[in-house]
Amino acid sequence: MSPPSTHNRKGTCHLIHQYRSPLNAPVHTRAAVIFLLCVCTLLSVTDAFVIGKNLVRHESVVNTGDAFILRAEEKDTASNFPSIPQVVEYEGRILAPHEDFRCGFVSLIGAPNMGKSTLLNAILKETLCSATNRPQTTRHSILGVLTSDEQKCQLCFHDTPGVIDDPAYKLQEGMMEAVQGAFRDSDVILVITDMFSTPIPDDELFHKLNLSNKKKIVVINKVDLADKVSADPKQSPQFHMSRDNDAEPQYRRTVTVEDAVSNWRGLVPDAVAIIPMTASNGGDNAGVDALRTLLLGGEDVPKAFRALGRPIPGMFQEGVKFINDDAARELIPCGPPLYDPETLTDRTERFFASEIIRATLFTKLGKELPYCCEVRIEQFREPRPEDKKQIVRINATICVERDSQKGIVVGKGGVKIKEVGVEARQELENFLQGKVHLDLNVKVEKNWRRDEKKLKEYGYLKN
């Protein structure tokens, strides 16, 4: 079970907070203020008392009978609310656990087949997400956690499905709900594109991105394709037409890294950085390492960017020559870690088993058929210590929408399903680091992609 969603806490005294209480006496109200601050800031009780006393002294607590409100209006915040460090710095102060720790959510958002899952695997240096060369391999939002004790930082990544402008059926609607949820919860948004400046297909989401005050980083992936394409002067500069030409910029197709950086600097002018990379080269790729170092806040962010070579105009915001470690640490808010340092994800092995089998279907079947398939794990039995053969036994059902599709998946004489089983078993053994016995069955679930009840059962829609 995931920990509670406390990641939206950005601080205590810069908003208006309201707390219902049956206590009316000023003394009790003051005690409640101190308790609330103690919980919300995770400071010591002594620190909270000092802050609470300061708040009351500045008459910032308004008693409304059964509630009190802490007011911090922008015009007089400085006078009414001295910064927490100013209030609580005193001789002999004991730091609370994780007080200098940083923890935040980072969402990867972009068009289908931009390499989001490949990038997350590279950042984590782990094969967590199934990635193929086919669009829409990812259907769920998948959490990946990276913790650095040295930088005192925990990054909670959300790999999301590729953005679809106009979902064709309920399954795609559920996938876009996952994208919207990741967008709302994120502290930093990674916009994943490619050297051709493939845009986010949903203009409304892109508009929301530009209006948001969230930190943004643009990743220009697949720059290794630069040597395989050539500019076509006859090609139309129009890549994607917005529904509202007056509200949104028009997208321009690019064929060089320099043009892509320049183009995206115009599209997302407040992006902290625009980083070219080839995520498929793994976690040691210079661009992947620069991104990882930037998000963690060190060590030596400028050195990581120098490894990319000569700076490309537009990589950083206007007037910024490079990003130092202190500026990088401001990307992720202060807060305690939400997961154990050894945690990689909150998903189960059963979930990843189904993802691995489904990814194998993408590689073994035709262009359209994998999109009609869903994989359900009926049994996932790990070996007992007393078992002579230490084998993980997995029974899985491949659901298709029509009888004709079932025949294609099974193949003549069962040849195709055997091929899928052999390759999926090998991938499962690599993932689980042990022997696997895999039993596959194929079942018809008519129009499951449009069946709201089925989609809730499969975890694509909320109950």
CB atoms within 10 A of CB 30: 18
Q: How far apart are the C-alpha atoms of 146 and 156, rounded to whole Å? A: 7
**Consecutive H or E run containing 158:** strand 153-159
CATH number for the domain formed by residue range(s) 349-458: 3.30.300.20
Which pLDDT value is given to residue 134? 79
CA 298 remoteness from chain centre: 20
**Consecutive H or E run containing 408:** helix 403-410
State the DSSP string of 25-93. Answer: SHHHHHHHHHHHHHHHH---HHHHHHHHHHHHHTT-EEE-SSEEEE---GGGHHHH---HHHHH--TT-
Buried b (16+ CB within 10 A) or exposed e, 174-204: bbbbbbbebbebbbbbbbbbbbbbbbbbbbe
CB atoms within 10 A of CB 397: 17
Closest CA to 157 of 206, 194, 118: 118
Task: Enter the tokens of residue 60.
Answer: 């910032």
Which amino acid appears at position 374 of this protein? E
Tokens 């002579």 map to which residue? Answer: 388
Which pLDDT value is given to residue 244? 44
One pLDDT digit (tens) per residue for the chain, 463 residues:
444 333 333 333 332 233 333 333 445 555 555 555 555 544 444 444 444 544 444 444 444 444 434 444 434 444 444 444 555 555 555 555 567 899 999 999 999 999 999 999 999 999 899 888 778 888 889 999 999 999 999 999 999 999 988 888 899 999 999 999 999 999 999 999 998 888 888 888 888 898 899 999 999 999 988 777 655 544 534 444 344 434 444 557 888 899 999 999 999 999 999 999 999 999 999 999 999 999 999 889 999 999 999 889 999 999 898 899 999 999 999 999 999 999 999 999 999 999 999 999 998 987 768 889 999 999 999 999 999 899 999 999 999 999 999 999 999 999 999 999 999 999 999 999 999 999 999 999 999 999 999 999 999 988 7
> pLDDT tens across 289-339, in order?
999 999 999 889 999 999 999 889 999 999 898 899 999 999 999 999 999
**Largest distance between two CA atoms of the chain:** 83
Dihedral pair phi/psi, residue 232, rounded to 5°: -115, 105
Question: What is 102-329's CATH number, 2.115.10.20, 3.40.50.300, 3.30.70.1150, 3.20.20.70?
Answer: 3.40.50.300
CB atoms within 10 A of CB 43: 22
Give whole-number Cα distances, 62 to 31, 34, 35, 58, in Å: 14, 14, 16, 11
Pairing of strands 273-276, 374-381: unpaired
Which pLDDT value is given to residue 229? 66
Which pLDDT value is given to residue 89? 54
Query: How many degrees, rounded to 5, is the angle at CA 127 between CA 459 and CA 271?
Result: 80
Domain spans, the chain: 17-88, 102-329, 349-458
